[in-house]
Amino acid sequence: MAALPYLLLALVLIWPAAAPTADSLPPPSQPPPPPPPQKVQVWPKPTSISWQSAVYAPLSPSFSIRAVPSHPSLRHAIAFYTRLIRTERHAALVPPANYTLARVPIRLVALSVSDPEVPLGPAVDESYALSVLPDSGSADISAATPWGAIRGLETFSQLAWAGGGAATGGQPIVPSGIEISDRPHFTHRGILLDTARNYYPVRDILHTLRAMAFNKLNVFHWHITDAQSFPIVLPTVPNLANFGSYSPAMRYTDNDVRRIVRFAESFGIRVIPEIDMPGHTGSWAGAYPEIVTCANKFWAPRAKPALAAEPGTGQLNPLNPKTYRVAQDVLRDLVALFPDPYLHGGADEVNTACWEDDPVVRRFLAEGGTHDHLLEVFINATRPYLAQELNRTVVYWEDVLLGPKVTVGPTILPKETTILQTWNNGPENTKRVVAAGYRAIVSSASYYYLDCGHGGWVGNDSRYDKQEKEREGTPLFNDPGGTGGSWCAPFKTWQRVYDYDILHGLTDDEAQLVLGGEVALWSEQSDETVLDGRLWPRAAAAAETLWSGNKGSRGKKRYANATERLNDWRHRMVGRGIRAEPIQPLWCPLHPGMCNLSQ
């Protein structure tokens, strides 16, 4: 028996191998499938990424960025991103595994811009292409405009992470051989910040603009004034701020405004100012009481209609000629400070009872006038001045056309120089605006209002003084599922923001009229102490959907994939000084997929 193994071995060695059949051979014309693409953690997700081999190249200690030709905003961005990329040492929550390091370090990012003189403005081209050629020692970013080049620099900064360890001398590493082609889905991607209910110091506004640039957001909608305060100093009408701001320390001077506008532009961010009128103007009454109706009155008198949507009463009187002299001074000064071609005129939540508090208005109504006619008088006296004399496209809230109580007809709002911003009824009002032929900016409260769900803020409210469980079948207030006093409850989670399709229900032609969207932070319960947490990372969720959408290549919503990436992006933002709220316990990103609702 001992010889049997040797006999079997000899048979194996001399026996001819069976010839492969035709069925067992792979077709000669079909090469082996390419390796799966590697993970790249960039937020917002680029529209096209190609990177097949898990090879990273270290950055040289002398790493630099150069541009041809140069541009003032690009010079600032180059200096900023050079410092950021050289100093940031982002450690991914779940680092990539099984990668190799290239021998040739990246010494240079070369920027090429085909048209460096394109001004920042609506619909500016922000596309770019980025490539890191293997073993070349350089990366290339090409763009049509400086603003696209800035977006490319942000992407490159997010490609770098601290994964090389001692092998790279502690230098960051970036994917070698990666190619990215990227452009935004929507040209208008913004944040609205209300600085009237509560004041935000200039440093916090600049801080927010920097965070917006990290997320490729490009519009800062500055809701400057409201019924509660008038914090901007305007040279022709300085008493509006002198009597309407909370204090001398809570005012924005012309130098402050210019600093904010310049800083925003250096990151490719437009600043659109909003002076809300004729409603929400109680703060004007300190300087000009004669042009404001129902000023400084209790907002919700007993057994009478409310004088305002919230505490802080007062509306401009459309029947007082001085109203328009002051309003034109305000608008002229504003245009001198803000170069953007858009100016937001508000026109939301006009309150009929507030106007009726004025005897001249009551007489006008008694003689057959209407509230719609009053608003028409105001719009006709201010909108042409803005559009024709000051050469601005006027943005209004949807109320001016769709408001539940007071509206004007489309003949008063020429479509060529008017844009409407939606905030009620979600996709339904967006549909109504674009179906009427207007361009739209979407800020639906049910998805994009970041102040919602924090409970009520008016005092002396007995509704909270309930010790017993609320009866089922009645509107809930304090118990789980209730509003807690927040008119737009519940809280808008990042997934609610992320999953909003702002083109829902629109035809292709109607969709072309949607410029983009803005998340909004109204500041009744916010100031600089909570600013980062209120905005981030929920505003980042909107940033990705407005840049590259919320669906994968097969048309399926990618919120599951986004969870992992947003956890890591929030981690990087915190490292960059943005105090973004966590979206999950840290255990979740460290155990991918284990915190999902379903597998």
What are 52-90's pLDDT values in tens digits? Answer: 889 999 999 999 999 987 788 899 999 999 999 999 999
Direct distance between the N- and C-terminal alpha carbons of the chain, in angstroms, rounded to an integer: 56
State the pLDDT at residue 493: 98
Split at pLDDT 50, 70, 90, the class of 5 is: very low
Split at pLDDT 50, 70, 90, the class of 14 is: very low
Please state whether beta strands 219-225 and 270-277 pair in parallel, antiparallel, or not at all (unpaired).
parallel
pLDDT at 34 over 90: no
* Total number of residues shown for the chain: 599
Contact 187, 166 (CB under 8 A): no
Contact 327, 276 (CB under 8 A): no
List CB contacts of 176: < 8 A, sequence separation 6 or more.
53, 55, 56, 57, 102, 132, 134, 135
State the pLDDT at residue 471: 83
Domains in the chain, ordered, with CATH? 48-182 (3.30.379.10), 188-455+480-553 (3.20.20.80)
Neighbours of 353 (CB within 10 A): 17
Q: What is the pLDDT of residues 215-248, one digit of tens each?
A: 999 999 999 999 999 999 999 999 999 999 999 9
Q: What is the pLDDT of residues 107-157, one digit of tens each?
A: 999 999 999 999 999 999 999 999 999 999 999 999 999 999 999 999 999
Does the active-site annotation cover 349? yes
State the pLDDT at residue 229: 98
Tell me how far apart the alpha carbons of residues 322 and 328 are, in angstroms, rounded to a whole number: 10
Question: Could you give the C-alpha distances from 48 to 45, 51, 355, in angstroms and in order?
Answer: 9, 10, 54
State the pLDDT at residue 580: 98
Q: What is the pLDDT of residues 438-461, one digit of tens each?
A: 999 999 999 999 999 999 999 999
Mean pLDDT of the chain: 93
List CB contacts of 502: < 8 A, sequence separation 6 or more.
186, 427, 430, 442, 444, 514, 516, 517, 545, 546
Tell me how far apart the alpha carbons of residues 200 and 194 are, in angstroms, rounded to a whole number: 9
Choose among 118, 114, 117, 112: nearest CA to 142: 112
Q: What is the pLDDT of residues 404-436, one digit of tens each?
A: 999 999 999 999 999 999 999 999 999 999 999
Q: Which of the residues 265, 349, 376, 518 is marked catalytic?
A: 349
Among the ranges given (88-97, 173-182, 491-500), the one the predictor scored with the smallest mean pLDDT: 88-97
Choose among 387, 281, 380: nearest CA to 342: 387
pLDDT at 8 over 90: no
407/470: higher pLDDT: 407
Q: What is the pLDDT of residues 377-397, one digit of tens each?
A: 999 999 999 999 999 999 999
**Rounded mean pLDDT of 574-591?**
97
Tell me how far apart the alpha carbons of residues 269 and 124 are, in angstroms, rounded to a whole number: 11
Among the ranges given (29-38, 289-298, 455-464), the one the predictor scored with the smallest mean pLDDT: 29-38
State the pLDDT at residue 237: 98
Of the chain, the percentage scoring pLDDT greater than 90 comes to 87
List CB contacts of 113: < 8 A, sequence separation 6 or more.
67, 68, 69, 71, 74, 142, 143, 144, 145, 146, 148, 149
State the pLDDT at residue 29: 57
Of the chain, the percentage scoring pLDDT greater than 70 comes to 94
State the pLDDT at residue 268: 97
pLDDT at 6 over 80: no
Please name the residue that has the structure tokens 């929920």. Answer: 538
Split at pLDDT 50, 70, 90, the class of 39 is: confident
Question: Could you give the C-alpha distances from 571 to 164, 214, 383, 562, in angstroms and in order?
Answer: 19, 13, 45, 14
Neighbours of 571 (CB within 10 A): 19
List CB contacts of 304: < 8 A, sequence separation 6 or more.
353
Tell me how far apart the alpha carbons of residues 162 and 175 are, in angstroms, rounded to a whole number: 12
State the pLDDT at residue 470: 87
Beta bridge partners, 247, equal none
Choose among 429, 432, 392: nearest CA to 414: 392
Question: Could you give the C-alpha distances from 269 to 68, 110, 144, 352, in angstroms and in order?
Answer: 22, 23, 17, 37
Tell me how far apart the alpha carbons of residues 158 and 215 are, in angstroms, rounded to a whole number: 11
The half-sphere exposure of 22 on its side-chain side, counting CA atoms within 13 A, is 0
Q: What is the pLDDT of residues 130-140, one digit of tens each?
A: 999 999 999 99
Split at pLDDT 50, 70, 90, the class of 37 is: low
pLDDT at 18 over 80: no
Beta bridge partners, 68, equal 112
Among the ranges given (162-166, 265-269, 527-531), the one the predictor scored with the smallest mean pLDDT: 162-166
Question: How many whole angstroms from its chain centre is CA 378?
Answer: 31
State the pLDDT at residue 28: 53
Choose among 334, 520, 341: nearest CA to 439: 341
State the pLDDT at residue 20: 44
**Is residue 158 within a helix (H) or strand (E), and if so which, with residue range?**
helix 146-159
State the pLDDT at residue 35: 53
State the pLDDT at residue 386: 98
Q: What is the pLDDT of residues 328-369, one digit of tens each?
A: 999 999 999 999 999 999 999 999 999 999 999 999 999 999
List CB contacts of 271: < 8 A, sequence separation 6 or more.
220, 222, 260, 261, 264, 338, 340
